[in-house]
Chain A
Amino acid sequence: MKISRNDYPLQLEGETIPMVRFQNVTKRYGDLVVLDSLDLDVDEGEMVTIIGPSGSGKTTVLRMLMALERIDEGVIYVEGQPMTHMARNGTMIRADNKYLRRQRLNIGMCFQHFNLFPHMTALENCIEAPVQVLGLSKDEAVARAEGLLDMVGMLEKAHEHPSRLSGGQQQRVAIARSLAMRPKVMLFDEVTSALDPEVIGEVTQVIRKLVAKHNLTMLMVTHQMGFAREISDRVCFFYDGKIEEQGAPDELFENPTRERTQQFLSAVLEAR
């Protein structure tokens, strides 16, 4: 069944509004369907992990939520407000850049390849957007950034450029940089995939700390099944642009009901 544009509410209402809602979201690259009519809700404070084979659309979910690319169909809501669209004269139209910039303030994202700004020190990376976008004074921004760098254990390296930091250290700075914007939702896109095995722990440790101490809503794409199982409230297994199966981590890892999930999990767990 195809839903027409008018079936998307201008804003979500009711007792419990999810922090993030994907409603009927489709993304295509040419003929290739990467996300196929995806419906997904993430509640406030929830940690949802997305696993699945490569090419299943896992990373696309995060990129669409951050509005790094346009979606072809459907609407994404954040805190009940449309993210990819905006209301104008009672109808939904595609969000313009200004609206997107405001909405993106709710979301922080960490990338596989860190994407730190190489010409700025760790501290400068963390104060850039708070000063330029949020309009914080430099002192406020520095105080905030130093607190966060301390939390990720990088305060000593605050004045180093990224080229002088290891991958694990760069990723921790990148996490601090995202948190400095005080987002409500954090996205982790394969944040440990580009790291040497011996430094993966320092990054996962930071994420553990975030889960324990902050009431952040988080969406994580990862290949580390053990970490996903340990830390998530819910795990979604993606296959062919769809959620093939989802559930509590222990349930999904112990008793997967779908055949593709079983195949995937046995292949991944065996490979270790």
Chain B
Amino acid sequence: MFDWRWEFVSDILPRLVKATGNTLLASVLGYGIAAVLGLVFALTQRTRFALVNRAVREFVEFIRSTPLVLQIFFVFYVAPQFGVMFSPWTAGMIAIGLHYASYLSEVYRAGIESVPRGQWEAATSLSLGPRRTYSRIILPQAIPTAFAGMGNYLVGILKDTPMLSVIGVAELMHTANAIGSEHYRFLEPYTLVGLIFLIISLPTAGGLRRAEVKIRKKMGLRSI
């Protein structure tokens, strides 16, 4: 149909599968950075220092309101002006990590705010300090609540990795572009890339939903 060539598909599939590895690696690395940095953003927005709160909130707001692809260019091209050369991977991970950290910080924040005030008061009345209150009482309850949002952004980051192709990270999209311009054929590479994304993201989304139910149950928390 429509001049679809299976032979060509079998030629290029190995390259695309290899590139899928890079796509997954970029997603996981980026998500790891975002998960940690996002928590930092969320917690610094809860400190007593009004100026810090404000600055972090504005920064998060700014990042969330501007396109990721532009941020990727910004990090990649602006850093050398200040004498730092980032490889495409490094620049990409910084940009995507920062971008999703901003989203995740909102998810964490909502999770923390969903913990009832009584839990803070119980921790206070038992003389638990702020660090222990967060690490042992509040976050263990906030994170399961945040889990659904965190999962959405894991799939979201996966689907945004093609933007890394613009600075030359050899992930799926970049490889498909290269194949396309080598062979002047775009039907198969672009269609395959779409299928690969579907094959990864649909089960991941379903799996995350099931994992959420399991985790909440294991922690003795009611399901939501």
Contacts and interface: CB of A to CB of B under 8 A. Distances in A.
Interface of A: 66-68, 97, 101-102, 104-105, 107-109, 111, 113-121, 128-129, 132-133, 161-164, 177-178, 181
Given A101-B129, A102-B127, A132-B132, A117 B122 contact: yes
A119 B140 contact: yes
Nearest to A112: B118
A61 B124 CA distance: 16
Given A118-B220, A162-B220, A113 B125 contact: no
Given A113-B118, A117-B137, A132-B132, A104 B220 contact: no
A181 B122 contact: no
A119 B221 contact: yes
Given A115-B119, A121-B220, A129 B126 contact: yes
Contacts of A163: 220-222
Contact of A68 (B119, B124, B137): B124
B1 interface: no
B28 interface: no
Secondary structure at the B interface, as helix, strand, loop or mixed, is helix
A104 B222 contact: no
A236 to B, nearest CB: 22
Contacts of A97: 129-130
24 contacts: A68-B121, A97-B129, A104-B124, A104-B126, A104-B127, A108-B125, A109-B125, A113-B116, A115-B116, A116-B122, A117-B137, A117-B141, A118-B220, A119-B219, A120-B220, A129-B126, A129-B127, A132-B128, A132-B132, A133-B126, A133-B128, A162-B220, A163-B222, A178-B126
Contacts of B137: 117, 128
B214 interface: no
Contacts of B209: none
Contacts of A162: 220
Contact of B126 (A67, A120, A128, A164): A128
Interface in B155-206: none
Nearest to B144: A119
Contacts of A102: 127
A224 B43 CA distance: 42
